[in-house]
C-alpha cells in the first residue's frame, strides 16, 4: 500500500510540473511543436513574420484554418444561425489577400506594436496573430416592417477580434492602401483595446501587493461614488475585487486620454472613466494613488507607458 501511495504521489507531482510548464510556455520559449511552420511562403514579408516569431514567440499567420480562428475549449465562436432563428454572438473572418499583407503588417506595427517593448510583447502577445482580409462582428438585425419582426444577420466591420489564443486583425485587403485619418485612428483604438482585452481574458496579469493593499475589499460599496471613495473602478453592482479593479485601471489608461481622466465629470455616479482622476470622483485621492502604482509598474517592469496608448487613441 505504501508503495502504491508513493507511486501515485510521484505521478501527481509529474503531472503538476508538466501542467505548470505548459501554462507558463507563453512566457518562456519552448521547443514544443505548436503545429505551425514558418515561413509560410517565399514573400518578402515572410522575413518580417519570422523576425516577429523570433522576438515574441507568436505566430503571424496568413495560411490558417477556421479552427485556428474560431476554436475554444468551450466550442467554436463563429456566429451561427440557431434553430430559433437567432444568430449567436460571434464573429466572421476571411484570411488576408497576399498583395496586401505587407501593408497590413506595417499598419499593425505602427498602430499597435510600436507602443510596447519587446519584453512586453514577448510576455503578452497571444500564440497567434491571424492576418485577415475581413473581420466582422455579427449581430441580430430586426425588421419591424413585418409582423412578427423578421430577423436577419447584421455584420459590423471591426479592426480586430480576440478569441481564446488569437487575435484576428483586419485590413489585409485593398482598403489598407486608402485609409483615411479617421479609419487609421479607429483601427489604432480597436486593435489596442482588443490586445489589452486579450491579456485580461487570458488572466496573465494580476494586481501587485502595493495596489491591493490600498483598498479594503471586505467593505462592499453601495454606489459608484462610494466605490470611487475607496479607489474602486469596477461598477459597484458587479462586486469589485482587486483583480477586476486592476483590469479597469488597465482599460482606463489604454482607452481614455490623460486629459479626460482629469476632466471633471458631469456626474459622479456614472461608471465611465471620465474624471476618475478629478477630485469630484476621486475625493480621497486613492484612485490617483492606485493609478500611479499601475502606470509605474508597467513602466518599470516592461518599459511601457500604457497611458501613451490612451492619449494616442484620443488626440
Mean pLDDT score, 142-148: 84
DSSP β-ladder status, 166-169 and 128-143: parallel
Residue 88, pLDDT > 60, answer yes
DSSP β-ladder status, 150-157 and 59-61: unpaired
Mean pLDDT score, 246-251: 98
Q: What is the pLDDT of residue 4?
A: 42
Q: What is the pLDDT of residue 146?
A: 85
Q: What is the pLDDT of residue 307?
A: 98
Residue 24 pLDDT level (bands cut at 50, 70, 90): very low
Check residues 151 and 255 and name the one with the higher pLDDT: 255
Q: What is the pLDDT of residue 14?
A: 40
Residue 76, pLDDT > 60, answer yes
The per-residue pLDDT for range 254-280, each reduced to its tens digit, is: 999 999 999 999 888 899 999 999 999
**In Å, what is the CA distance from 178 to each residue of 94, 153, 170, 184?**
20, 28, 14, 10
Residue 80 pLDDT level (bands cut at 50, 70, 90): confident
Q: What is the pLDDT of residue 74?
A: 92
Q: What is the pLDDT of residue 7?
A: 42
Residue 306 pLDDT level (bands cut at 50, 70, 90): very high
Mean pLDDT score, 162-177: 97
Residue 13, pLDDT > 80, answer no
Q: For residue 132, list its beta bridge partners.
A: 95
207 three-state secondary structure = coil
Residue 192, pLDDT > 50, answer yes
Could you say which DSSP state residue 28 is in? S
131 three-state secondary structure = strand
Sign of CA dihedral 216, 217, 219, 221: positive
Residue 30, pLDDT > 50, answer no
Q: Over pLDDT 90: what percentage of the chain?
A: 75
Residue with cell 476632466: 263
Residue 133, pLDDT > 50, answer yes
Residue 29 pLDDT level (bands cut at 50, 70, 90): very low
Q: What is the pLDDT of residue 82?
A: 84
Q: What is the pLDDT of residue 312?
A: 98
37-41, 55-59, 94-98, 150-154: which range is least confident on average? 150-154
pLDDT, averaged across the chain: 89
Residue 32, pLDDT > 70, answer no
State the Cα–Cα distance between residues 271 and 244, nearest whole angstrom. Answer: 14
pTM above 0.95, yes or no: no
Residue 222 pLDDT level (bands cut at 50, 70, 90): very high
Q: What is the pLDDT of residue 172?
A: 98
> For residue 42, with 0-12 CB atoms within 10 Å meaning exposed, 13-18 middle and 19 or more buried, which class applies?
exposed
Q: What is the pLDDT of residue 23?
A: 38
Residue 58, pLDDT > 90, answer yes
Q: What is the pLDDT of residue 1?
A: 44
Q: What is the pLDDT of residue 116?
A: 98
Going from N- to C-terminal start, the domains of the chain cover: 45-182+189-197, 209-313
Amino acid at each position: 500500500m505504501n508503495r502504491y501511495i508513493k507511486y501515485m504521489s510521484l505521478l501527481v507531482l509529474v503531472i503538476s510540473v508538466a501542467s505548470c510548464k505548459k501554462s507558463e510556455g507563453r512566457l518562456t520559449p519552448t521547443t514544443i511543436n505548436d503545429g505551425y511552420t514558418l515561413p509560410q511562403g517565399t514573400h518578402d514579408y515572410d522575413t518580417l513574420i519570422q523576425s516577429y516569431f523570433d522576438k515574441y514567440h507568436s505566430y503571424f499567420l496568413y495560411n490558417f484554418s477556421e479552427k485556428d480562428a474560431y476554436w475554444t475549449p468551450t466550442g467554436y465562436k463563429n456566429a451561427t444561425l440557431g434553430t430559433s432563428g437567432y444568430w449567436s454572438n460571434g464573429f466572421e473572418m476571411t484570411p488576408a489577400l497576399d498583395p496586401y499583407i505587407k501593408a497590413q503588417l506595417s499598419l499593425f506595427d505602427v498602430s499597435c506594436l510600436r507602443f510596447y517593448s519587446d519584453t512586453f510583447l514577448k510576455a503578452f502577445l497571444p500564440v497567434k496573430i491571424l492576418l485577415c482580409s475581413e473581420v466582422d462582428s455579427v449581430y441580430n438585425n430586426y425588421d419591424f416592417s413585418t409582423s412578427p419582426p423578421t430577423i436577419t444577420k447584421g455584420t459590423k466591420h471591426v479592426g480586430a477580434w480576440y478569441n481564446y489564443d488569437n487575435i484576428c486583425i483586419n485590413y489585409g485587403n485593398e482598403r489598407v492602401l486608402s485609409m483615411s485619418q479617421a479609419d487609421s485612428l479607429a483601427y489604432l483604438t480597436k486593435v489596442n483595446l482588443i490586445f489589452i482585452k486579450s491579456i485580461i481574458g487570458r488572466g496573465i496579469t494580476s494586481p501587485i501587493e502595493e495596489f491591493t493593499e490600498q483598498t479594503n475589499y471586505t467593505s462592499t460599496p453601495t454606489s459608484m461614488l462610494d466605490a470611487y471613495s475607496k479607489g474602486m473602478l469596477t461598477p459597484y453592482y458587479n462586486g469589485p475585487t482587486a483583480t477586476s479593479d486592476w483590469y479597469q485601471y488597465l482599460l482606463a489608461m489604454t482607452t481614455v486620454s490623460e486629459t479626460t481622466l482629469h476632466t471633471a465629470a458631469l456626474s459622479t455616479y456614472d461608471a465611465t472613466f471620465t474624471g476618475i482622476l478629478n477630485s469630484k470622483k476621486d475625493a480621497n485621492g486613492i484612485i490617483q494613488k492606485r493609478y500611479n502604482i499601475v502606470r509605474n509598474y508597467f513602466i518599470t517592469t516592461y518599459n511601457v507607458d500604457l497611458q501613451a496608448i490612451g492619449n494616442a487613441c484620443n488626440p
